[in-house]
Amino acid sequence: MIKIKNAQGVTLFELIVSILVGSIVLVTLTSTLAMITSANTRLQIDAKMENESYLISETLKYNLLTQLDKTFTVTQDDPDAFILVIDYCEIVGGETKICTWEDPNDLYEPHTLMLEYNVGPDNSAILSFDGEAMHSDRMYLLNDSEVSFQRNNVLDLNTPYQYGLLTLHLNMQIVLSDGSVLNPKEYITQIIFSNY
C-alpha cells in the first residue's frame, strides 16, 4: 500500500498551512473564473446592443444615401413624437411616373419614406422606418431616447432641406427570456443626409 503520510498523521500547523495555501489557490481560481464569466456576459450584452444600434444606422444609410433628388422635411419635432419625411426619385427602366420636382424629360419614380419616433401609451418608444420598427422585439427603446434632424444646427418645421444632420440618441435596454431587463445603455449616432 502506498503511504501518503506517515503513521503520525499531520500536525495542526501542517493542516493550517495546507488549508491556507489551498484557500489562496481556490479563491484566486474562483475569482478569476467569476470575473471572466461576468465580463464575458457584459461583453455579449454590449455587443448585442451595439449591433442593434449599428443595424439601425446601417439600415438608414443603405436605404437613403444613394437615392437621388432627396429632400428631407421634418413635420413633427416633439419630445415624444418625431417625423422625418424623405422624398426621393428613383430612376426606372421603363416609363412610369415623372417626378414633379425634377427635369420632366427624365423618367423617375417618386418615393416617400418616413422615419418616425413615437412614445407609446406604455411609455416605451418605437423607432420606425417605412412603417416598420427598426429595433428587435428583445430590445426596449426607452422613452428618453431622442431623434433630431437639423440643417446647420437649425430646424424649421415643414421646410424641405437638401441636406441635414440626423442625430439618434437611442437609450436601449435588453429584455431577457424571463421578462427581466438589464441596465440601459445610450448609443449616439449621427448621419449626414445630403442630396449633393
Partner 1 sequence: MLKNNQGFSLVELLAVIVITSFILVPLMTAFTNNITIYDRLEKRRSTVGIIDVMVNSIDRLNFGSVKAELDLSTNHFYILDGSNCNTIFTDPDDQIFCTNYFNLTYNNFSIQEGEIEIYFFDWNISDAEMTILLDRGFHPAIEQELSTIVTNDFTESNSVMRFVILGHYDTGNNDVVAIGGVMASD
- The binding site for partner 1 (CB under 8 A) comprises 2-6, 8, 10-11, 14, 17-18, 21, 24-25, 28-29, 32, 36, 39, 43, 47, 50, 53-54, 57-58, 61, 65-66, 152-153, 163, 165, 186-194, 196
CA distance 59 to 138: 18
Nearest distance from C-beta of residue 61 to partner 1, angstroms: 7
Q: Which secondary structure element, helix H or strand E, spans residue 169, and what is its range?
A: strand 163-174
Count of all residues that appear for the chain in the document: 196
- Answer yes or no: are the C-beta atoms of 164 and 190 closer than 8 Å: no
Residue 71 and residue 161 in contact, taking contact as beta carbons nearer than 8 Å: yes
Shortest spacing between CB 192 and partner 1, in angstroms: 4
Q: How far is the CB of 183 from partner 1 (least distance, A)?
A: 15
Compute the CA torsion angle 46, 59, 192, 131 (nearest 10 deg).
-110
CB-nearer residue toward partner 1: 38 or 96: 38
Question: Shortest approach of partner 1 to residue 185 CB, angstroms?
Answer: 9
- Residue number with CB closer to partner 1 (154 or 178): 154
